[in-house]
Structure 1
Amino acid sequence: MTQLTTSSALGVQRDARPSDAPQPAIEIRHLTKHFRRRDGSTVPAIDGASLDIQDGEFIVLLGPSGCGKTTLLRSVAGLETPDSGAITVGGKAVFDSGSGTNLGADRRELSMVFQSYALWPHMTAAQNVRYPLENQRGARQGRAAMNERVAEALGAVGIGDLGGQYPNQLSGGQQQRVALARALVNNSKVVLFDEPLSNVDAKVRESLRIELLAMQRRFGFTALFVTHDQAEAMELATRIAVLDRGKVQQFGTPDEIYARPATEYVAKFIGNTNELHGRRAEGGYETPLGLVRTPQDAGDQATVLFRPEHAELSAERPGTASALPGRVVAVLFMGTHTEFLVRSGETRMRIWVSGRSTDFAEGDEVWVGLREDHVMVFPAAQDRGDQPEGEG
């Protein structure tokens, strides 16, 4: 179905939405932001980004350094001023280039958790958490009511007994819990997260992910979360927006992003892939290892991808749609799976078998079997007209 658009009175084109459709918690429309280099040239940090984020969703902005995810988050927060576009939070315009609207960060009715925790070192954990209540607009609560809210927030993040400690007396994980309690204490309906778990060790990070998701479900706030960690995104997200050079390459559920990537960039960034280059042939694409059968048509020249866990390893030629020959050059036990490195000519493939597998050893001749529905095909770079990547 063709999506209609209308022009708003404020001069920013907006997607038409049925009158009975729910108002997004955050609406981002055609947002752009350029940064100027020292030589005077400009580079797009955000390039026409549009997202609708519904109440209660946990949205993850995912991509490598320089893709624009943090700039997009900071634009929603009011810490960056976009060049053009529009942002609404809770149905209220907080930025609109057409009308000149640009509310300050303190007027956007949202909270933010920073990567660096951003705790006041001279304040206790409780005082840090109380700070937003003491400085909120409108009538202030009484001291007793504020203290009760602070105690509830600290208890919700599991550090109710640490309110009298100073930041330098807390571990990294505990400091991050203080920062999260501060974001929750004023019952913000929207909470922004700028890579909040990147400064804690792996075990603590895994625990905090689970607790963060549980708290988001419990309190019902809408989350907009920035990370470069694919596993973190897959575990937390209701939907993931994958960014590259300021553009939203795909916006969908974790399952959609992983199983049906819209572009080669998304397919390679999310999870692991094996890559072959092929020329269109009857029934699929002819690669250096043989014919890979697929009903997909990506042009005369294509990049053929498949994931390590989707291939079958066998000593005899399998009955799958495609069968590629090779030799095992390494066997690595990874705990949850065994990884076999298979080489065929100049091509190396990674194949995963669940659990510990001793079926094959280094030097064994093997076949790699592929089903048609596990093959991903994208136009080759020259057919896409790709240009070399610049900074950003």
Structure 2
Amino acid sequence: MTQLTHPTSSPSRPHPAGPDATQHAIVIRQLTKHFRRRDGSTVPAIDGADLHIESGEFVVLLGPSGCGKTTLLRSVAGLETPDSGSIAVGGVTVFDGEAGIDVGPERRELSMVFQSYALWPHMTAAQNVRYPLENQRGPRQSRSQMNERVTEALTAVGIGDLGGQYPNQLSGGQQQRVALARALVNNSTVVLFDEPLSNVDAKVRETLRVELLAMQRRLGFTALFVTHDQAEAMELATRIAVLDRGQVQQFGTPDEIYARPATEYVAKFIGNTNELPGTRVAGGYETPVGLVRTPEDAGEQATVLFRPEHARLSTEQPATASALPGRVVAVLFMGTHTEFLVRSGETRMRIWVSGRSTDFAEGDEIWVGLQEQDVMVFASHPGQSARPEDDAR
């Protein structure tokens, strides 16, 4: 397969960033952005965000609707103007609120793949991909050079034979590949992705994830990718930034985010959890289903969490750190695992067993066993208000 290559150096640009920023593809420091509501009040879409993204990383901005991930991505692209803070791309400051720097999107030397793909309907796939080359700053390439680059880009994304097709003649997956080829054709070393896989069906989405990741590894560009899909984030990312109400709650590898969440919000947003209110006692926390031993003390009142796959079911009381009694009320075969719904008093727990399991049936009295290291505990904040509905994007 023909491979696109990236230049070893880029043309000089104004506003060189400090020495720390030059070691990273993207550096975001204390970025803030507020939107004004119709009633005149303001809401923070980005609230003091800090991210240092290394060259060649695949970083995913993950969170629910309204958490600020799209606004953060658009700020890096230059499509939103933050209120304060700074952004450096490739060692060059492209935004600094205090210094009054705001480099236009066309001068930030990055590319973007939009959710809607943003393809020109009156242009063929090849013409769409060639468009950035025809409109780039600096010396213009010859038509033969541009055609060669377009062919390389289309071939690299696996649609080298579809250059003559118009967007309405292409499937959603093929349109996505055209958009990606257009982003890569001018040798951008940083590519931004705004939920580019959300418009294709689940099976195609899985295929495109694998292809996108392989392509990113092969070509070596830095990717900043927005999604609300946890599985997508876990599969693609070298590191994940979990956002909530404009703030980066945690920035780490998928394993760190899943196994060692920094906050209760991250623990409950990533993956599935069983949640129990707890009151501190000697050795752990007393919950509605019994004593749960925890690896740390989170205060007098806490939320105790554990993941469905970390518990073990048995008919006899287990010798684990925690043993919780219950009764099986439902058995659901999910393909990769069997889910047992276990009720203890007014509390319902979800327990997963790998593959198809017929060891327990509805109505069975059982025990749920937990090891101390598999339990997460976070201080409770009863007075904390619920997440407000706001205009953050």
Report if TM-score (shorter chain) is over 0.5. Answer: yes
User: What is aligned with 1:277?
Assistant: 277
Structure 1 residues 181, 16: closer, same or farther in 2, change over 3 A?
closer
- Determine if the alignment matches structure 1 residue 241 to structure 2 residue 241: yes
- Determine if the alignment matches structure 1 residue 386 to structure 2 residue 384: yes
User: What is aligned with 2:212?
Assistant: 212
User: What is aligned with 2:12?
Assistant: none
- Determine if the alignment matches structure 1 residue 85 to structure 2 residue 85: yes
Helix, strand or coil at the partner of 2:23: coil
Per-residue CA shift, 1:119-154, capped at 9, x if unaligned? 000000000000000000000110011111101111
Q: CA deviation at 1:248?
A: 0.2
- Determine if the alignment matches structure 1 residue 55 to structure 2 residue 76: no
Structure 1: distance between partners of 2:90 and 2:209? 26
Q: Which amino acid aligns with 1:222?
A: T
User: What is aligned with 2:32?
Assistant: 32
Structure 2: distance between partners of 1:169 and 1:70? 29
Q: CA deviation at 1:16?
A: 9.2
Contact 1:27/1:52 (CA < 8 Å) preserved in 2? yes
Per-residue CA shift, 1:355-385, capped at 9, x if unaligned? 0000001111110000000000001122xx5
User: What is aligned with 1:330?
Assistant: 330
Aligned length: 374
Q: CA deviation at 1:195?
A: 0.3
User: What is aligned with 1:227?
Assistant: 227
Structure 1: distance between partners of 2:157 and 2:18? 38
User: What is aligned with 1:309?
Assistant: 309
Structure 2: distance between partners of 1:122 and 1:342? 57
Q: CA deviation at 1:391?
A: 2.2
Q: Which of the pair has the greater relative contact order for Cα pairs under 8 Å at 6+ separation?
A: 2
Structure 2: distance between partners of 1:15 and 1:285? 48
Structure 2: distance between partners of 1:41 and 1:294? 43
User: What is aligned with 1:118?
Assistant: 118
Q: CA deviation at 1:15?
A: 10
Q: Which amino acid aligns with 1:283?
A: G
What percent of counterpart residues are identical?
84
Aligned-residue RMSD, C-alpha: 1.3
Q: Which amino acid aligns with 1:333?
A: F
User: What is aligned with 2:11?
Assistant: none
Task: Give the 5 Å matches for 1:91-170.
Answer: 91-170=91-170
Structure 2: distance between partners of 1:24 and 1:336? 39
Runs of 4+ in structure 1 off by over 4 angstroms are: 14-17
Helix, strand or coil at the partner of 1:79: coil
Structure 1 residues 387, 243: closer, same or farther in 2, change over 3 A?
same
Structure 2: distance between partners of 1:302 and 1:23? 40
Q: TM-score of the superposition, structure 1-length normalised?
A: 0.94
Contact 1:308/1:351 (CA < 8 Å) preserved in 2? yes
Contact 1:113/1:192 (CA < 8 Å) preserved in 2? yes
User: What is aligned with 1:250?
Assistant: 250
Q: Structure 2 regions of 5+ residues with no counterpart?
A: 1-16
Per-residue CA shift, 1:1-50, capped at 9, x if unaligned? xxxxxxxxxxxxx9995xxx961100000000000000000000000001
Structure 2: distance between partners of 1:22 and 1:146? 30
Q: Structure 1 regions of 5+ residues with no counterpart?
A: 1-13
